[in-house]
Amino acid sequence: MMQFTCPHCGPRAQAEFVYERTVDSVVALDAPPEDAMRTLFTRNNPRGVDDEIWRHTYGCRAWMVITRHRVTNEISAIRAVGPEALT
């Protein structure tokens, strides 16, 4: 099990967090339907470092972007996003 350091709560077990998606799969609200479908459903699954969106669901409920290596699970950065990032 991995351990994440929540920007608000400190080190916590991965079980408290829920994976949402990779940052590059977020679709703009004004995107044409064809682009939205391609972005959501036609993605690569590359090895290496990727930015992922996670939520501290069983803690402070904050959203964060975790930069994680997909093979080694090494975490190089965690940053809060959303309204919680401003506090």
Separation of first and last alpha carbons in the chain = 29
Task: State the pLDDT at residue 86.
Answer: 64
Which domains, ranges and CATH numbers included, belong to the chain? 3-26+33-86 (3.30.2270.10)
Give the span between the Cα atoms of 5 and 14, in whole angstroms: 10
Task: State the pLDDT at residue 53.
Answer: 95
The parts of the chain modelled with pLDDT lower than 50 are none
Task: State the pLDDT at residue 59.
Answer: 92
Asked if residue 73 lies in contact with residue 82, where contact means CB atoms within 8 angstroms, the answer is: no
DSSP H or E run through 36: helix 33-41
Task: State the pLDDT at residue 69.
Answer: 95
Give the span between the Cα atoms of 23 and 3, in whole angstroms: 20
Task: State the pLDDT at residue 16.
Answer: 97
The predicted model scores a pTM of 0.83
Task: State the pLDDT at residue 52.
Answer: 95
